[in-house]
């Protein structure tokens, strides 16, 4: 149920890294010679930075020790996968028009909102051993979005650090208006943050369910006992 070629796995991950790096460099303005200071404030960019860093390390691990079907640092891998998946779904269903500029598709937005998320999911489907995710995994994979939300609320709300200018222009110091209590209200911010965490958990259990289902097919084909890995 998985591709066992180390070369193909490395090549796939390398393409993801190249695409993600292009999206980050172009989106941040570096390729145009003018870095955008607010670029790291958006969660999409944080998720892509984390994913690119993870897959670089995963490639190094494969080169150094081979491929046994177990992902390198599984908590980090599934954190990156779920985070990218959420950004793709939000972009597609809520912010699709922002992917275009004067009717033209913005390539770096397409790369970060579609290509890297899909490639990350397929990397798991194609190359990872299935049936190994623990039931508590979806809660562990929340740590990146939790860290982002806590850091943002403390940085702006407590210390007054400016993190706006991304999707909000100068409307608020927050990267998103729905994180600003002065605009959305304390209750509105709490509902949004709680809703986001629920979405992450639900998608995590969708991934977990698919993993278990595919793992059963593998065991039917190969009844040999296999160990589990920390995810």
Which pairing describes strands 100-101 and 104-105: parallel, antiparallel, or unpaired?
antiparallel
Q: Which residues of the chain have pLDDT under 70?
A: 1, 166-169, 219-231
Classified as helix, coil or strand, 187 is helix
d(CA 61, CA 216) in angstroms, rounded, equals: 27
pLDDT given for residue 165 in this prediction: 73
pTM of the model: 0.91
Render 66-132 in DSSP notation, one character per residue. ---SPPSSHHHHHHHHHHHHHHHHHHHHTSGGGGEETTEE-HHHHIIIIIHHHHHHHHHHHHSPSS-
Which residues, 6 or more positions from 50, have their beta carbon under 8 angstroms from its beta carbon? 76, 79, 80, 83, 144
pLDDT given for residue 67 in this prediction: 79
Q: Which residues of 106-145 are buried (b: 16+ CB within 10 A; e: fewer)?
A: bebbbbbbbbbbebbbebbeebbbbbbbeeebbeebbebb
pLDDT given for residue 1 in this prediction: 63
- Percent of the chain at pLDDT > 90 equals 76
pLDDT given for residue 70 in this prediction: 87
């Amino acid at each position: 149920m998985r591709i066992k070629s180390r070369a193909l796995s490395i090549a796939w991950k390398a393409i993801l890294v190249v695409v993600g790096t292009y999206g980050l460099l172009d989106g941040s303005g570096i390729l145009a010679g003018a870095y955008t200071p607010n670029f790291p404030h958006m969660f999409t960019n944080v998720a892509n930075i984390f994913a690119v860093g993870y897959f670089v390390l995963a490639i190094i691990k494969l080169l150094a020790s081979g491929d046994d079907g177990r992902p390198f640092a599984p908590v980090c891998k599934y954190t990156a996968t779920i985070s990218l998946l959420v950004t793709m779904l939000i972009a597609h269903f809520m912010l699709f028009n922002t992917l275009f500029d004067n009717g033209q598709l913005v390539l770096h937005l397409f790369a970060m909102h579609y290509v890297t998320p899909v490639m990350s999911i397929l990397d798991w489907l194609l190359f990872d051993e299935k049936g190994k995710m623990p039931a508590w995994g979806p809660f562990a994979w929340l740590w990146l979005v939790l860290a982002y939300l806590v850091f943002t609320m403390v940085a702006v709300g407590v210390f007054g650090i400016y993190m706006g200018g991304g999707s909000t222009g100068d409307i608020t110091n927050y990267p998103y208006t729905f994180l600003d209590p002065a605009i959305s209200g304390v209750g509105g911010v709490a509902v949004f943050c709680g809703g986001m965490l629920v979405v992450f958990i639900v998608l995590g259990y969708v991934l977990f369910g698919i993993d278990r289902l595919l793992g059963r097919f593998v065991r039917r084909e190969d009844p040999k006992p296999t160990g589990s890995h920390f995810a």
